[in-house]
Structure 1
Amino acid sequence: MSERTKKRHKSDKPKVMILGVGAFAHAVGQILKDGGAEVYTYLTRNYGHYPPSLVGPTYMASSHPDLMQLIDTLDVDLVVPQSIDWAQAPWAESLVRSKVLVLSPVGKAMLIERERDFARRLCAQYKIPFPRSYVASNRLEAERILLQHPKPFVIKNPLCSPSSPIHTILCETVEDTRAWLKVVNYAEGVFLQEYVGRAEAGHIVFVSGGEIYSIVTNQEYKRAFDGNMGIVAGAPLGGLVELDPEDKYGLARELILPLRPWLREVNYHGPLQVTAIKKNDRWYVIEYNVRIGITSGPMLLRMLKNPVETLLRVAQNKKLDLQFREGFRFGCSVTLAGYGYPYVQLRPPILPLEIKGKLDCDVWLNEVAVDQEGRLLATGHRIADVVALDSTLEGAIRKAYENIRKLRVIGSYYRLDIGRSLWPPGNE
């Protein structure tokens, strides 16, 4: 245990600080609270403040610019970040040097997500398949690359961040790519990754005590509309997870386990997710993430028998004995999207959120507030994530849709086809 955890009496609850907002903070906070933790939330963005308040005290980053002072006052044991941006904060170095546990790799270990070309080079070093990719600093360089390599490319920001000037633009033809290269924001350059298809899947592990522990294989439905149509949204419109400690689809074996020497070299401990696409019976890495994720994370945590203890041990870099809850082999998440989404340039009005009937699965609120009379209001583009778990995939999907139909906001929508495509992993 950390020094501060050792000092606490055995009967005291572990104290967890979540860095985030909305459905992520609501979900992670509630699950850890259910697991016996005392939960606080440090609100890092200017929306989604009400949902975390349902779990425990919340603190605005603008009102508490020194997170370490708050952590010391509250005697926090574990910090759980929503995104990697925490590492750029002015208090980040103090947090890393402190005795406080953080559910995240630090230092060079974060580069596997932060810098896309670093991940490409790492894959090349360990002979892990990665689509042909290039970095350009401006439009002229990007168009020259396309001229020399006339293939469709997925256009990404070279640095991964929620505030990146470019969010993923998936081009399926050379002409698509050429058109987008004329209009993207080159403030941080551009990362061009060869398009290799739609047969995408992911796998999440915990890296701890020098070992790699498979947990779930997952699918995220990133396009806005049914049939995987529309643009790639800022966050998925739904997702599936399958409990997979045996790595039945080979994603960890082919794309994560070869990294073991590097993971040990940089003292990596924390979650690690790989997203990959299957082409010609071979998995290709699309990206790595060092977080549990806003879509799959809540389902993963619900599957763990002892989520608080597990996260503490991961943050302490100790070996794990993962135990899972009976009857929760599959999970399904469906997002209720609000007026105008995924075109966030359109600002929605504040609208009433109605819940008709009793909910019998997790519903994590996102851009939601309450009025003076306690009535729920939808205040933004992403309203809620409805999450169900079951022993079968069909059961999880059925329960999620039964519950999302109980939510109503005028102008809202949700995808009707979660589970009908992109599953099993490796399928389109």
Structure 2
Amino acid sequence: MKFLVIGSGGREHAIAWKIAQSESCDKVFVAPGNGGTALENKCENFKYNSFDDLIDLCKREKIDLTVVGPEAPLVDGVVDAFTNEGLSIIGPHKEAAVLEGSKIFAKDFMKKHGIKTAKYESFDDYNKAVEFIDTMEYPIVIKADGLAAGKGVVIAGDKDEAIETLKEFMLNERFNEAGKSVVVEEFLEGVEASIVTLFDGEKIIPFISCKDHKRAHEGDEGPNTGGMGVVSPNLHVNEEVMNDFINNIMEPTLTGLKNDKLTFKGFIFFGIMIKNGVSYLLEYNVRMGDPETQAIMSLMESDFASILKKCMDNSLEVEDISWKDKHCCAVVLASGGYPLKYKKGIDIQYNDNLQEESKVFFAGAEVEDSKLRTSGGRVACVTAIGNDSNEAYDKAYESIENVQFDGMFFRKDIGKI
């Protein structure tokens, strides 16, 4: 089989790497890919300018299945474009992708289908939003309605910070159109968990749980990022929590998708808050998370290519997916200044003499003149597997020594907080 993976991040490197391990896989094209996928076994990068370029590639190379990594192509309708040409693709059609593309749509969907979530109101008028925050107890959460690369959520500790955030989003257009409308919701205190699932249109099958670390600096300080690291499994997601999630969030979501005719074949990411053993839904993504994917692919024992094919054939069952009885720690290596301003084009020194069961997945990195250089804010993600969370932590941080570039920084408490 031949595969196409759309995207250029660490998530896409991990997906391509895992698919390439399958005996049924002959080749994986990654569009546009990155410096890591350029060096990966069975993988080839492909630059493109439009969906038509990708469709032409699929027809020319007789690609069997395409997997979409990031959210933007999904919201822009890549699945619709492929489906209209009779091409197999994993991901939601444009109408269903709004579950991630609009926070307001997602919250209204949760409310409509009785899915537990924080109380909220949505606004497209700045003055009305300011009036509303006068009635709130702090802290509160303010979310840009549209896509903001994981940075469109602010926890405002007081009214001044809330007003400043509303100005930035709605008036100063920090995220362009994405922040002109906002969701303002109550702050839920607890432990966050990420649960990625696979949806075949009839059933949703959960993957192993993760715990993301969103803030840029140790102790969960600093600005929100796309994610600075994860551990998997999330030790707070015990059997009781998982059952609560399945019964009160996942199953009502499945019912809602069917009732609203939003079914598709692809991933659904549930971002949840666990409070006193009870799960509350924070957000949907309609693709795998980053860096959650790097940990999930590292712990998956099953043949991922086979899982994706079974999803497309409506023959996937829970028992088809097995996991290593181990723990994974994944640490993101970022460019100095991320998530704000940072330099690009910095040489990366890398050797693959890593700890056993460790891997470096590249993201904001490209090969130029036979040299690996930085090209983004999150440059790489170092993953390591251990028999327990402490061993995984130690191995991951030891393996970080194999990657160096000027200005590199990373959190030193992934899995310890």
Using structure 1 for the length normalisation, give the TM-score: 0.84
Alignment map for 1:176-191 (pairs within 5 Å): 176-184=161-169, 185-186=172-173, 187=177, 188-191=180-183
Q: CA deviation at 1:67?
A: 2.1
Partners of 2:238 and 2:86 in 1: how far apart? 34
Partners of 2:325 and 2:62 in 1: how far apart? 33
- C-alpha RMSD of matched pairs (Å): 2.7
Q: Identify if the C-alpha distance between structure 1 residues 317 and 105 changes in structure 2 by more than 3 Å, giving closer, same or farther.
A: farther
Q: Identify if the C-alpha distance between structure 1 residues 352 and 319 changes in structure 2 by more than 3 Å, giving closer, same or farther.
A: closer
Q: Identify if the C-alpha distance between structure 1 residues 230 and 239 changes in structure 2 by more than 3 Å, giving closer, same or farther.
A: same
Tell me which moved more, 334-343 or 106-115: 106-115
Q: 2:8 aligns with which of 21, 30, 37?
A: 21
Q: 1:41 aligns with which of 23, 27, 30?
A: 30
- Partner SS, residue 405 of structure 1: helix
Q: CA deviation at 1:97?
A: 2.6
Q: Deviations over 1:342-380 (max 9, x none)?
A: 22x2334523424484453111112223453x4433343
> Which residue identity does 1:396 align to in structure 2?
A
Structure 2 gap ranges (5+): none
The residue that corresponds to 1:225 in the other structure is: 217
Q: CA deviation at 1:30?
A: 1.4
The residue that corresponds to 2:184 in the other structure is: 192
Partners of 1:83 and 1:380 in 2: how far apart? 15
Structure 1 gap ranges (5+): 1-13, 422-428
Q: 2:145 aligns with which of 142, 148, 158?
A: 158
Q: Deviations over 1:366-422 (max 9, x none)?
A: 2223453x443334322210112234222222221121122222221111111111x
The residue that corresponds to 1:3 in the other structure is: none
Partners of 2:286 and 2:65 in 1: how far apart? 16
Partners of 1:111 and 1:85 in 2: how far apart? 11
1:310–1:322 CA contact under 8 A, matched in 2: no
The residue that corresponds to 2:307 in the other structure is: 310
Query: Does 2:127 match 1:144?
Result: no
Partners of 1:271 and 1:388 in 2: how far apart? 24
Query: Does 2:236 match 1:278?
Result: no
Partners of 2:238 and 2:204 in 1: how far apart? 12
> Which residue identity does 1:213 align to in structure 2?
I
- Partner SS, residue 394 of structure 1: helix
Q: Deviations over 1:307-339 (max 9, x none)?
A: 100012223333325445664432211011122
The residue that corresponds to 1:425 in the other structure is: none
1:310–1:320 CA contact under 8 A, matched in 2: no
Partners of 2:238 and 2:309 in 1: how far apart? 23
The residue that corresponds to 2:48 in the other structure is: 61
Q: CA deviation at 1:219?
A: 0.8
Partners of 2:141 and 2:50 in 1: how far apart? 39
2:77–2:93 CA contact under 8 A, matched in 1: no
Partners of 1:28 and 1:99 in 2: how far apart? 23
Q: 1:172 aligns with which of 157, 162, 165?
A: 157
Query: Does 2:408 match 1:408?
Result: no
Query: Does 2:365 match 1:368?
Result: yes
Q: 1:293 aligns with which of 289, 295, 306?
A: 289
1:22–1:51 CA contact under 8 A, matched in 2: no
Partners of 2:54 and 2:353 in 1: how far apart? 40
Alignment map for 1:306-345 (pairs within 5 Å): 306-323=303-320, 327-343=324-340, 345=341
Q: Identify if the C-alpha distance between structure 1 residues 317 and 173 changes in structure 2 by more than 3 Å, giving closer, same or farther.
A: farther
2:75–2:98 CA contact under 8 A, matched in 1: no
Q: CA deviation at 1:281?
A: 4.4
Partners of 2:267 and 2:323 in 1: how far apart? 23
Alignment map for 1:221-260 (pairs within 5 Å): 221-233=213-225, 235-242=226-233, 248-250=240-242, 251-260=245-254
- Partner SS, residue 216 of structure 1: coil
Q: Identify if the C-alpha distance between structure 1 residues 114 and 315 changes in structure 2 by more than 3 Å, giving closer, same or farther.
A: farther
> Which residue identity does 1:170 align to in structure 2?
I
- Partner SS, residue 376 of structure 2: coil
Using structure 2 for the length normalisation, give the TM-score: 0.86
Alignment map for 1:79-94 (pairs within 5 Å): 79-89=66-76, 92-94=79-81
Q: Deviations over 1:37-92 (max 9, x none)?
A: 2200122xxxx632222232222122775321221111111111112322344765
Partners of 1:354 and 1:130 in 2: how far apart? 43
Partners of 2:368 and 2:82 in 1: how far apart? 36
The residue that corresponds to 2:380 in the other structure is: 384
Task: Give the aligned length.
Answer: 399
Identity %: 21
Q: Identify if the C-alpha distance between structure 1 residues 91 and 69 changes in structure 2 by more than 3 Å, giving closer, same or farther.
A: farther
The residue that corresponds to 1:129 in the other structure is: 116
- Partner SS, residue 340 of structure 1: coil
Q: Identify if the C-alpha distance between structure 1 residues 60 and 73 changes in structure 2 by more than 3 Å, giving closer, same or farther.
A: same
Q: Which structure shows the higher helix fraction? A: 2
